């Protein structure tokens, strides 16, 4: 058991007498008396399960986006009813500018057979593909004439897939047809092949990346996705050095540059990163060890994505977000709606997302984002060129009750996007550490890290400690290799490590596990925002981690006096216990429970405006006990 788990254990022990008395006075529940044991599939079955998860994510993403397109077409018909041709054209142009997957829009007025087409250039394919394209377009027109909606099967033109969708207005006079590019499905599939480690990632040889065994640092060749559980990746011609007596002088740096053939090193905190034009890591290590006797010297590791104002009201109502009821199983699973009666977040509590960046123009994140920072391209904006960071951010704070897309867990916490991973979804120790330190220096109260590696980096740990010492709650994904090997930064004791569960409250088959796991959260087919103003369902501990980061934001909004350690302890001690009673290596202390945790965060005294809800809840619990 890690030191942070022992700390939490002490908190739990303080209430042991009450728990024992409560347990003794009721019959044992069947599920609690026979807790489900987590399954740990072998590599062959693990691959099969991951492939199933990938197909499930692609299928769910397809459904999410078809529902979103249907909603946009209906909205366009309603909002342009009776409008002039010019206003209709302006609306169509704005819709397509914000939603690039809408390849073509056709507006038909059946009263005078007037047809207007926006973005008239249809995709070009073979003669057979072009005939099929026009055939489905004619089918859409025929359906509208019969006052029916229409959705064609998917079809291929060139190298990309498309489908038609058609809607007719309520008055029956106007119809609209849209041609939709389905490239998001390819993006989701490619993303999840990496995120779920179904393929070797990153590719060796690209950007001079090499792999080492996380324990021995011996050379390792990654041939399959499963090999990633033993591997850590680093840049073979770079090295991270911390000098024993602070910083080297200008003259000493010039000597080093001449010796190893390098340009100006990058500096962050007390550490320096040197990139040699001629020497590999082993040669660099020998040079610095023999000549400079550093405090530490280590590879420059890569980190990969691990995808995977109190407004108090009465009884919670389901949000009106389009995709909530049908697709967001994850929020009810952790009592999010009930938790909103206690806290919906505060603009004063910033949640940083150190990731691939965020699509700032996504309509479901409008007003939720701060300017942020780009640690990959100096001076650049933290734009998302992968989709991962946008997805993570939507889980935390997609707009609620805006009739658009999905609902986030927090209504009001601002999200600080920090781009520390590049367009391949990978970043370095330096970029991740820089992102963490920048967020810490610019007001973040919570930092989400849906990324990881299996190498214990002192350099990264220094950055983690820097943020932790500034009273920041750090939350990290455990990893998607179905291994007990500790992943970093999740395994650092200053970080809350999050594993993933499915809709049945079982360990997700891909989720890493181990004694360092603190809590679990939903991580299978999680619907959220995605780049291109679209939506995707992704699986991974990357998706589980932001559930917990968002909860930390709600806690700190409700009770700003709590320290980061107290916030972490509250989340661990107010879970839904899964698996073996108490802490175990598959579920940690259990799956987070937003309502229960926020109740505890509010303290012993219930605010006056919450007193009726608190009494109702206590009466309900008493009635349930008497009925058993």
Contact 329, 264 (CB under 8 A): no
Structure tokens at 430: 């330096």
Residue 238's pLDDT band (boundaries 50, 70, 90)?
A: confident
User: What stretches of 220-309 show up as alpha helix (H) in DSSP?
Assistant: 250-260, 281-292
Residue closest to 201 by CA, chosen among 531, 479, 513: 479
Residue 200's pLDDT band (boundaries 50, 70, 90)?
A: low
Query: CA end-to-end span of the chain, whole Å?
Result: 36
The answer to whether the pTM exceeds 0.85 is no
User: Which residues, including other chains, have CB under 8 Å from residue 188's CB and lie 6 or more apart?
Assistant: 57, 58, 61, 387, 530, 536, 537, 538
Return the H-helix or E-strand segment holding 298.
Answer: strand 296-298
Mean pLDDT for the stretch of residues 432-447: 97
Mean pLDDT for the stretch of residues 216-236: 49
Residue with tokens 């377009």: 137
Structure tokens at 280: 């590999």
Contact 448, 396 (CB under 8 A): yes
Distance CA 2, CA 106 (A): 61
pLDDT in tens, 152-170: 999 999 989 999 999 998 8
Report residue 269 CA to chain centroid gap: 28
Q: Residues with catalytic annotation?
A: 355, 388, 542
* Of the candidate ranges 109-123, 253-267, 324-338, 540-554, the one whose mean pLDDT is the lowest: 109-123
* Of the candidate ranges 127-131, 151-155, 260-264, 612-616, the one whose mean pLDDT is the lowest: 612-616
What is residue 467's predicted lDDT score, i.e. its pLDDT?
A: 97
pLDDT of 362 above 60? yes
Distance CA 526, CA 523 (A): 6
The residue ranking higher by pLDDT, 391 or 6, is: 391
What is residue 226's predicted lDDT score, i.e. its pLDDT?
A: 45
pLDDT of 246 above 60? yes
Question: HSE (CB half, 13 Å, CA atoms) of 366?
Answer: 8
Distance CA 547, CA 333 (A): 11
Residue closest to 103 by CA, chosen among 86, 123, 85: 123
Q: What is the mean pLDDT of the chain?
A: 83
Report residue 458 CA to chain centroid gap: 25
Distance CA 450, CA 308 (A): 8
Range among 27-41, 61-75, 216-230, 495-509 rated most confident: 495-509
Contact 144, 108 (CB under 8 A): yes
In order of 261, 275, 277, the CA distances from 280 in angstroms are 11, 9, 9
What is residue 416's predicted lDDT score, i.e. its pLDDT?
A: 98
Contact 152, 136 (CB under 8 A): yes
The residue ranking higher by pLDDT, 337 or 237, is: 337
Neighbours of 547 (CB within 10 A): 29
Mean pLDDT for the stretch of residues 578-605: 91
Residue 488 bridge partners (DSSP): 453
What is residue 30's predicted lDDT score, i.e. its pLDDT?
A: 33
* Of the candidate ranges 13-17, 318-322, 582-586, the one whose mean pLDDT is the lowest: 13-17
Question: HSE (CB half, 13 Å, CA atoms) of 317?
Answer: 8
Question: HSE (CB half, 13 Å, CA atoms) of 534?
Answer: 29
pLDDT of 347 above 50? yes
Neighbours of 585 (CB within 10 A): 18
What is residue 451's predicted lDDT score, i.e. its pLDDT?
A: 93
Mean pLDDT for the stretch of residues 522-537: 95
pLDDT in tens, 37-69: 666 766 667 777 778 888 888 888 898 899 999
Residue with tokens 């009635």: 623
Mean pLDDT for the stretch of residues 226-250: 72
pLDDT of 408 above 60? yes
pLDDT of 211 above 70? no
Residue 304's pLDDT band (boundaries 50, 70, 90)?
A: low
What is residue 27's predicted lDDT score, i.e. its pLDDT?
A: 32
- Residue 490: helix, strand or coil by DSSP? coil
């Amino acid at each position: 058991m890690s030191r942070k788990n022992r700390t939490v254990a002490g908190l739990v022990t303080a209430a042991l007498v009450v728990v024992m008395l409560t347990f003794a006075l009721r019959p044992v529940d069947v599920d609690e008396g026979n807790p489900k044991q987590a399954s740990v599939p072998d590599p062959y079955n693990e691959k099969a399960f991951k492939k199933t998860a990938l197909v499930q994510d692609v299928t769910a993403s397809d459904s999410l986006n078809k529902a979103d397109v249907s909603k946009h077409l209906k909205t366009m018909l309603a909002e342009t009813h009776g409008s002039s041709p010019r206003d209709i054209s302006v609306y169509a142009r704005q819709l397509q500018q914000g939603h690039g997957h809408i390849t073509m829009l056709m507006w038909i007025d059946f009263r005078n057979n007037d047809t207007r087409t926006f973005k008239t250039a249809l995709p070009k394919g073979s003669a057979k593909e072009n005939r099929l394209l026009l055939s489905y377009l004619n089918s859409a027109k025929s359906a509208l004439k019969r006052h029916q909606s229409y959705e064609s099967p998917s079809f291929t033109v060139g190298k990309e897939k498309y489908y038609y969708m058609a809607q007719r207005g309520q008055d029956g006079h106007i119809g609209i047809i849209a041609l939709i590019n389905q490239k998001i499905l390819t993006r989701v599939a490619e993303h999840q092949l990496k995120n779920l480690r179904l393929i070797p990632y990153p590719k060796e040889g690209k950007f001079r990346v090499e792999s080492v065994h996380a324990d021995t640092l011996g050379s390792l060749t990654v041939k399959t996705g499963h090999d990633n559980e033993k591997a850590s990746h680093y840049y073979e011609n770079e090295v991270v050095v911390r000098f024993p007596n602070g910083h080297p002088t200008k003259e000493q740096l010039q000597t080093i540059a001449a010796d190893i053939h390098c340009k100006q090193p990058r500096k962050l905190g007390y550490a320096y990163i040197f990139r040699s034009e001629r020497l590999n890591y082993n040669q660099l290590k020998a040079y610095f060890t023999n000549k400079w006797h550093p405090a530490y010297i280590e590879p420059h590791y890569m980190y990969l994505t691990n995808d995977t104002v109190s407004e108090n009201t009465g009884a919670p109502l389901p949000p009106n977000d389009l995709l909530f009821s049908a697709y967001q199983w994850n929020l009810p699973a952790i009592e999010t709606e009930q938790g909103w009666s206690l806290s919906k977040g505060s603009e004063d509590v910033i949640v940083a997302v150190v990731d691939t960046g965020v699509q700032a123009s996504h309509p479901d994140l409008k007003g939720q984002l701060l300017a942020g920072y780009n640690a990959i391209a100096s001076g650049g904006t933290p734009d998302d060129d992968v989709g991962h960071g946008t997805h993570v951010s939507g889980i935390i704070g997609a707009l609620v009750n805006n009739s658009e897309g999905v609902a986030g867990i927090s209504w009001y916490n601002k999200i600080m996007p920090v781009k520390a991973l590049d367009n391949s979804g990978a970043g370095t120790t330096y970029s991740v550490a820089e992102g963490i330190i920048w967020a810490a220096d610019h007001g973040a109260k919570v930092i989400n890290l849906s990324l990881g590696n299996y190498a214990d980096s002192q350099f990264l740990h220094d950055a983690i400690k820097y943020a932790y010492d500034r009273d920041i709650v750090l939350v990290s994904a455990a990893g998607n290799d179905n291994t007990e090997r500790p992943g970093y930064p999740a395994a650092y004791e200053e970080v809350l490590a999050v594993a993933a569960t499915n809709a049945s409250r079982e360990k997700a088959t891909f989720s890493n596990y181990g004694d360092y796991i603190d809590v679990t959260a939903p991580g299978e087919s999680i619907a959220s925002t995605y780049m291109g103003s679209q939506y995707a369902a992704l699986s991974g501990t990357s998706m589980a981690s932001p559930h917990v980061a968002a909860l930390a934001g709600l806690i700190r909004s409700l009770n700003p006096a709590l320290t980061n350690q107290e916030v972490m302890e509250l989340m661990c001690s107010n879970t839904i216990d899964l698996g073996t009673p108490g802490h175990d290596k598959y579920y940690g202390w259990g799956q987070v429970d937003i309502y229960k945790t926020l109740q505890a965060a509010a303290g012993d005294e219930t605010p006056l405006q919450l007193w009726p809800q608190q009494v109702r809840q206590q009466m309900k619990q008493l009635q349930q006990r008497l009925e058993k």
